[in-house]
Amino acid sequence: MKVVFATAEVSPIAKTGGLGDVCGSLPKALVSLGHDVTVVMPYYRQARLWFEKNGVDVHQATPTVTISWGNWTAEATFLRAVLPGSEIPLILVANDFFFERDHIYDGIDGVDDFLLRYTFFCRALIRACELLSVSPDILHCHDWHTALLPVYLHSGLRGQSHWSGTRSVYTIHNLNYQGVAGAEAFGLTGLHNRYWAPDAVEHFGQLNPMKGGILFADQVTTVSPNYAREVKTAAMGAGLDGVLRFIGARFEGILNGIDVDEWNPATDQLRPSPFDAGTIRDKVKNKRALLEEANLHYQPGTPLITAVSRLVDQKGFQLLIPVMGRLLDAGAQMIILGSGEPWLENALMRVAAEHAGRCRVWIGFDNALAHRIYGAADMLLVPSIYEPCGLNQMYALRYGAVPIVRMTGGLADTVIPFDGTNPGVATGFGFEVAHPMELYLATWVAMLNYKDADVWNSLQSNGMAADFSWGRSAREYGNVYERALRS
């Protein structure tokens, strides 16, 4: 089956979160099952710098062309490369005005032109496929940035021979980011006025691209089964719960996977000491090395609690700040890596400064350092307010770090909480209510069980034995593609 991935992010080329990880890994798993996959993404400044840094050739595929839609025109240059670590074709859409910016999602001159940028990307993707003779069976669209593509297919694109057999699959990675704009922005889409309606992209007087993607895609997925259930409720549906209930069986959750070759403690070159489930005791060498790097002293029997995360409200670190000092005073050491909201960064740094001998907070993101943290950690905190899937807890389990999570979204699908009676299957600790004391109690219980070597070894072994590879997920996506073609 010929599949085109339409995405705003691809790891490791340009990413801000899980969207990039999925679109950098899932295509490889699909190809291993026999699918023919092409990935299309914007040629951001970050992408250009990544290719230059890594000495990867990028070739211009066509002369620069003019893309026209509605009352708009813009030039696009299409470049060719391959998805890193594979031979999967990668098409890059270049336009310096839209994509040569300091950060992936930056506006320009104080104006956030997000809808214009990604409408251009969608229209350019369509033209790229036509010029490069890529005629997909499945157009797999990811998040709000490409949500207009299923609408364009419905609005007449399928009337062209190149697209007549194409069906669309739309994947929601985070329902809270919908690309909403004011009614005046509808003209940017180039759509017929028929689509300015409650059964299309109009949503309570605003333009909602994600709503359009959901309604007009042949199949809709999200990134975990539990999140799929949650977002059909008013509490978690971000205003689109009714739309998701309306499409019924066309919507399902498929759990994300991780790249088990990159995230392999036995072969990971980004940490000082390899280990596997049979040599888990060697993990302590990584712990010693990381503590030294953080200017903290190794203390036998002291748990190292870690976090690797964006520091935004969604991730729940506002729950940690009130109890962080108490956990450190109770005998824990803590290392946190992340960046985001300044008030969260400053609050974590303030607690770390007050406990300088027991805590280190690194602001920013460093992939190699993240690998070292997973390799050293005894526990990983994931206190998310909501979490569509989450990958950090899967990385932690793979590296013998026991996760402490709020039981929401994909966290509930991937972590089995220890309740004192299930050491044969449990992989971590969980709490349900988004409150600092609930986080404190779950972490305190984890610290108590850390002292029981038999229990702790069981939790580590169970987690390392869990299969979070992309193979299972890719097979489920293959089934979704088949259903889309039958629609």
The structure's pTM equals 0.94
Fold classification of 2-257+470-486 (topology level): Rossmann fold (3.40.50)
**CATH code 2.60.40.10 for 277-465:** no
Same fold? 2-257+470-486, 277-465: yes
Give residue 399's identity as a one-letter amino acid code.
Answer: Y
DSSP one-letter code for 254 = -
Q: Characterize 294-307 residue by residue with b for buried, 16 or more Cβ atoms within 10 angstroms of its Cβ, and e for exposed.
A: bebeeeeebbbbbb
Give the separation between CA 214 and CA 233, rounded to whole angstroms.
Answer: 16
Q: Are strands 167-172 and 219-222 parallel, antiparallel or unpaired?
A: parallel
Classify residue 14 as exposed, middle or buried by CB count within 10 Å of its CB (0-12, 13-18, 19+): buried
> How far, in Å, are 6, 119, 155, 218, 220 from residue 150 at the CA level?
11, 12, 9, 8, 11
Q: pLDDT (tens digit, 0 to 9) for every residue of the chain, 487 residues total?
A: 999 999 999 999 999 888 999 999 999 999 999 999 999 999 999 999 999 999 998 999 999 999 999 889 999 999 999 999 999 999 999 999 999 999 999 998 888 999 999 999 999 999 999 999 999 999 999 999 999 999 999 999 999 999 999 999 999 999 999 999 999 999 999 999 999 999 999 999 999 999 999 999 999 999 999 999 999 999 999 999 999 999 999 999 999 999 898 899 999 988 889 999 999 999 999 999 999 999 999 999 999 999 999 999 999 999 999 999 999 999 999 999 999 999 999 999 999 999 999 999 999 989 899 999 999 999 999 999 999 999 999 999 999 999 999 999 999 999 999 999 999 999 999 999 999 999 999 999 999 999 999 999 999 999 999 999 999 999 999 999 999 999 8
Cα(first)–Cα(last) distance of the chain, in Å?
16
Helix residue spans in 54-165 (DSSP H): 96-99, 114-131, 148-154
Q: At what angle do helices 436-450 and 453-465 cross, to 10 degrees?
A: 110
Whether residue 170 contacts residue 199, with contact meaning beta carbons closer than 8 Å, is answered with: no
Measured N-to-C along each axis, helices 367-376 and 283-293 cross at an angle, to the nearest 10 degrees, of 130
Domain spans of the chain, in order of start:
2-257+470-486, 277-465
